Structure 1
Amino acid sequence: MEDIASQIPLLIKGSEKAFSTIYNHYWDRLYYVAYQKLQSQEAAEEIVQEVFLTLWRDRQKLSIHSLSNYLAAMVRHAVYRYVASEKAVKNRELRFEEVQKKNLNLEDELNNKLALKKILELSNQLPLKCRLVFQRNKLQDEAIKDVAKELNISIKTAEAHLSKALKFIRLNIRSFLCLFF
């Protein structure tokens, strides 16, 4: 194989043969270095191709004393840039996911408030005792026996009022939920 150092002046002048010689000589080594750092075949190949593309594109500006050290440094810097870029992408994805979760939570909260508002509106259409049993038991989370005692009715009567209220609300909320969701 030709002396690689003698290929540098030819490369600078635009010799494709010199470039191919350098490419064939260093590609495997550079790939190995990139792969060791990234553990990704695709990323390592991309970085090595980028290094050689940059080498060809900037060939006339080159001032190379040791091609092997120069290419190794190019790969090292390309790996750093790649890792930083991947980290930035992951951070953006995480922030996007957090925003999405917050939006879903806000949407759920809004949906819950709207559904609760509709349930309250429907419960206000119930007869007085029926409404009081439902609102205290289901909306204010009081035990049915406590509600019955406060309203001075039997537990069975309170349960009957609650059943009537639930049936009425279920029937009337279905159409709202179908339109809403």
Structure 2
Amino acid sequence: MKPIELNHTDDVLLLQQIEQGSQHAFNLLYEKHWGNAYSEAYKRLKDSDQAKDIVQEVFTHIWLKKESLRIHNLPAYLTVAIRNKVFKLVEKQKIIHPFFDVIDDLPASCQQADDNLLWKEFLISYEALLNTLPPKRQIIFRLHYQNDLPTKEIAAQLGLTRKTVQNQLLKAIEKLKVSLLPFLSLLIILFGAIK
């Protein structure tokens, strides 16, 4: 269904009517802005169902808070509200997306982007953080994740038990996840790495 053509002045009038409880005004506003709001959510998430859910949540919030919300520019409000909901969703999903699998998938996405400056900054931060790990932990991490060596082989090379190697990897991963995850979440959103 084609959105109803209304201008900014009409948005203000509709919001005033919604504040007074007009379901009809809400439906008109929803009809007009749903498509753009959905596009905004979908381009960040690349998931139709999640995008629809977020748009629904934002419009539900507008209806539920109609008496106290003061919206002066609805398109700008929707953009910010959707972006914030996407950030919260990504933060919740960080446990679902294996940390290093996502990092492995990002370079291909970034090569297609107009500007890979964020990816370069991420790699610089990643390398700098790796260099702050204790020397033995750093070596174990690099052997496992950069050279693809199994923990058993690393243990044999370094004269350590396999359990020690695994513990060192877990500690390294925890430090990297805590320090780099906010930046990684931003990259995921910008480059559409969420499937």
- Report the structure number with the largest CA radius of gyration: 1
Give the structure-2-normalised TM-score.
0.45
Structure richer in helix, relative to its length: 1
Give the structure-1-normalised TM-score.
0.48
Q: Name the structure, 1 or 2, with higher relative contact order (CA <8 Å, separation 6+).
A: 2
